[in-house]
Amino acid sequence: MLESVARVGSLTSTPWVYVVVALSVLLDVFVPVLPSGVLIVTAATAAAAGTGAATGRVPQNVPDILALTLCAATASVLGDMVAYRVAWRGGARLDRAIARSRRLSTAQERLGTALSRGGGTLVVIARFAPAGRSVVSFSAGATHRRVRDFLPWSALAGLTWAAYSVALGYLGARWLGAAWLATAVSVAALFAAGAAAAYLVRRPPHSSPTP
């Protein structure tokens, strides 16, 4: 992870930073260990540090905050939809794999209930949880949930997660000054949000009292 962060740090002065971030976000639905959130925070920190230079001039070779946010959000939605389609076509083999996993089965049941009631907030929360995006996207496809039920929540989840990650890096650098300190604090806040989201996803829903 540290090596990946170092590489992104060296790419923040080139347009390639958007390519690296987009690929990381797109693929981490299949490989959840990819540090896509950390890469976004690092790029946003570099942008804030660059625009806050002591010279008072705004350099041209720093990531654009809005472009970085839209890049990450778009890649997130595309990755979700690819996983959704893969699971949709997965057939009986994927259904058996989900049935063998208590975590996937529970997530599948909760997701189905949430989407059928129009309450896709679970999709947004799961986007922050480690591997939560993968579980939700594959479960939505495996249970053949309608695209119109899943896609809007996926878009909201991707935009919310991207905006939060960019804001952490950018505001952290603005407030804390030192890039290394801002990155460390921002990454810690990102992981804290992930831990909170994981708790909410795992928590069993409240059952309504029987009349």
| Domain total in the chain | 1
Residue 208 lies in a domain: no
In sequence order, the 6+-apart residues with CB closer than 8 A to the CB of 27 are: 34, 79
Task: Give 101-143 pLDDT, tens digit per residue.
Answer: 666 666 666 666 666 555 678 888 888 887 788 888 888 887 7
pLDDT of 10 strictly over 80: no
Element (H, E) at 202: helix 179-202
Residue 32 lies in a domain: yes
Task: Give 180-207 pLDDT, tens digit per residue.
Answer: 676 788 778 888 888 888 777 666 555 4
- Residue bearing the bigger pLDDT, 49 or 68: 68
Q: Which residues constitute the domain of residue 110?
A: 2-202
Residue 209 lies in a domain: no
Residue 194 lies in a domain: yes
Residue 210 lies in a domain: no
Residue 207 lies in a domain: no
DSSP readout, 76-104?
HHHHHHHHHHHHHT-HHHHHHHHHH-HHH
pLDDT of 17 strictly over 60: yes
Closest among 81, 76, 79 to 30, alpha carbons compared: 79
Residue 134 lies in a domain: yes
Q: Are 62 and 52 in contact (CB under 8 A)?
A: no
How far is 116 from 15, CA to CA, in rounded Å? 41
Q: Are 115 and 197 in contact (CB under 8 A)?
A: no
